[in-house]
Structure 1
Amino acid sequence: MYKVCFVDDETINYQLFEKMVPWEEKGFQVVGTAADGLEALRMYERLQPDLIFMDIQLPLMDGLECVRCIREENQDVQIVIVSAYSDFSYAQKAIRYGVQDFLLKPVSRMMLNQQVDKIRKTLDARQKPEKSRDICSNPYVDEMNQVFACISQNVEGGPPPLKHLPEIKTMYHLVLRPILGEEVSAAEMKKLTAELAALPAVAGHLDMIFSLTGTSLYLGSGCTFSDEPAMQSIIGFYRKNDYAAEIYAWKNGKSTWPLYEFLARSSSQENYGFYEKYGKVYEIEEYPFLDTELYTAPLDGLIVAALSENSPERLLDFIASQFFYARNQMISPRLLKNFVLDVLVKIKFCLKKFAPEESFFLMRNLRMEKIYDTVSCEALNGFLCLKIKEAFGELEHKILQAGKGEHVVFRANSFAELKFSDPGFSVQMAADFIGISKNYFTSLYKEKAGLGYWDYVTQLRMQKAKELLATTDDTVGAVARRIGYESEYHFSRKFKEYTGQSPNQYRRHS
């Protein structure tokens, strides 16, 4: 049984979670709950759970800070953030801290069970790491399996007792990248490795180790040899089969790292050939990338504009410019992947605000591991652009199916999301944007949405005000201006009508 814990200051929330999932059937046991961040840390240290559902707004220590503290000790525990706040800055921080997902309350039974099933598969894979398949029989392979198992389970204190590993003088970690965009399967990897073993330049080194872990290949030898012809033969062999072979080299006496550290690092590092079309041999100590964050400020406006216009062209142009910059500056692939995830999650959040049903279905196949497992710039760019085009294509189809009235509501809501912070925003502006008269627009909107358009705009502003009051130290006047009110008095009066509390009262109790 895997151990699961809930952290939420509202008891009813984790009681609902306990009832919504058949935990024991899915292989989990609920072992603990906590109501604040400090209690959550103590619970984690005491119980060492496999899975934690964590709220953000907690007393004493907020959920994200709690996640950061846990991650300093353990990179493997599965953490899912659950929050009532859709502000993307929360999701962005959560992603940086390596959470498995970010769920917005209220969470449906279906989505929660899907999340638990996905995490169960991840935990099972770690419990039963794929056994390495040796192509060339030799005495090192079982020992290599022990090393990989040790690495995957994050065992502290160094490798297990090893007899033969110190005898290895040369080791290579080979990673394949599909030149044509098709992912390499484990079966294909095994087939190609068997063919590789028969190459004269490779077969001449009879004591070479071939050890497969997933879609990576480890090659080693008990002697030091002139390896340039062999490495070029390997690169050429895979290129003929439409794969770029990146090879990371370790040689006893030349590397500053012991072999075990090389194996551990090479199994989790960024691939150095991310921006190159074809592979080559790399020295793992020579890190080639810049750790510079990409520019994301225009994303919110571009995404909302794309949704309101139902055209992602300007958004795609901006994405292309960021990929061009990343390639030219050799930005860390990890940071470019963070940017890709930012784009997709921001689209999902925008959809959730004014098309909640579509937000699940349009982005249902979004998986962080798909992004972070991508090993080439071209494949990552293609994946992101395809996701965006599919989402907008399906959205257009759903809008056309729904009819003119629903189309007007969708475009008007997304336009409000784009313009609500403008003090001069008006119903007339929305009608002009859609291209119909103001009177027809207001009557059609109310008929289809069930409320007046300006009521919707006010709800949007008040919801944003609640988030700002709860999560920032901005003055009430500053909050008013950020959501489109020039008068603090007018905003405070409207906020009290909407919530029953003044802004300051709401802030004190949030």
Structure 2
Amino acid sequence: MKTIRVLLADDEPVILRGLKKLISWEKLGTRIVGEASDGIELKQQIEEHNPDLIISDISMPGYTGIDIIREIHEAGRSVKVIFISAYQEFTYARQALQYGALDYLVKPVNKNQLEQVVSKAVSLIRQETEGERNKEKLNHYEQRNHRLTIEEMLDKLTDGNKGTADTLLDMGIIALSRYVSICLVETDEASGQPSRWEERERKLIDFALSNIIKETVEQRENSYMFRKGERFCILLQHEDSKEPERLAEDLHGKINDFLKLKVSIGVGNTVDGMDDADDSYRNALKALQCKYFAGLNRVIPYRKKEFENESLIVTPLYEIQSALSIALKSQNREQIAQESIRLFQKIRIMADGNRNQAVSTVYNTIIQLEQELIHFGVEAAPSVQDSSPILERMTSLSTFQEVEEEFRMILCKLSEQIGSRMGSKELKQLSQVKAYIDEHYPENITLESMAGMMFMNSYYFSSFFKKHTGQNFKNYVTEVRMNHALRLLLQSDMMVYEIADSVGYNNARHFSDMFKKKFGKLPQEYKQSLKSQ
């Protein structure tokens, strides 16, 4: 009777010694032919001793047990593998590993467990005749080559190589289905951040994730899993246009439940045939790239952009920013909330999926509000003035929703500062005056009309205003108008006479003179000088 050759592998010498002494190997018809203390040594021992059975720690330096079993199967070796590991937290690992390994034992291993699993291995090995081994080896090579060819063809197909559709048709892969769709799966690790997984843990996770996707996909006819870089791709041929989303939701739930792993799944649009699979792939990629705005750990179907609030598309950003500034100054909480919502809706539209543009627009809005409030008489707190940490913090956040929350916290701080600045009756009155000017600057605002609105005589109002602002009333109104005029000049295509009318000047020549007095150049000269820089 043939003696079963056994290799033992563990990076802890005490474990190796324990395994050798724990059971009577000879009585079970086995002989230990080698020992390895890491993955590299294990590979060498496999080549040297050609074992029938390997009992190995799943996590070792050099190569992990996962690496070893993959090479064993890729080489077509008929060798049984039993894994031992202390990584109990991956509850699905045992089930996943049983796709390629005979069994999975958790340390510390007891005598009965080891005897049972070794006896099982010996029995299976003895049942395999040399002819059956050769047949298995041949089948393995055929299946592996067939699978690799399919994956290679699908990879080329999604890259836009139309000719591969004919090859897939000849291979019997293309079904007479109404639709074709692509889904993409990737783990939710913060971009730009160091990985929270060590290499050996990553490989274990990758192995388990691959198995659960493959198991779910293979339950559906004419569906295939393949890899593109770090992402898992799924090709579906189906009759129901809602089938890809259903599969994605099912798969997402299984990954969350069994692996306790957060992933995003992008679902591409349905197309009419394999020739257009690359279009579905590109749109699945677009959907996946939107997870920063949509949120992590969810299924994200591709949708053509549709805006419920069409007016936001044509509303300039500066108008919303100005309205938010007025709401802050007037301490109108309801309006602050409404304008904040409009601001972030507008930024999402403008960013069009560009994370950096979205963050920089939010940051620039904070700087602009700070500057306007300083002009209003409110000094920004150190946390607001210290701009570098804000930008770094916002850039490091994982989702745009977190950026919104950070922005609202800053708004609250600014609002509190305004509230404390407006503690006295006179400052509240001044706030009303400034808020009115900011909102009605295009109109004919005079010192007399504002004095009447505040129930003061003109002389007292003039003294009151200068006392709290350090400026006379007319100069302040002019400065507000000029600042708005500059914004229109730089952020719109309006003609000079249109800008003049928009900020309260009926005479374009007079407006240009006032603009030059404020900024040193006529409007067109000022605009041209910036373009030439």
Asked whether the two chains share a fold, i.e. TM above 0.5, the reply is: no
Length-normalised TM-score, structure 1: 0.44
Larger CA Rg, structure 1 vs 2: 2
Higher helix share: 2
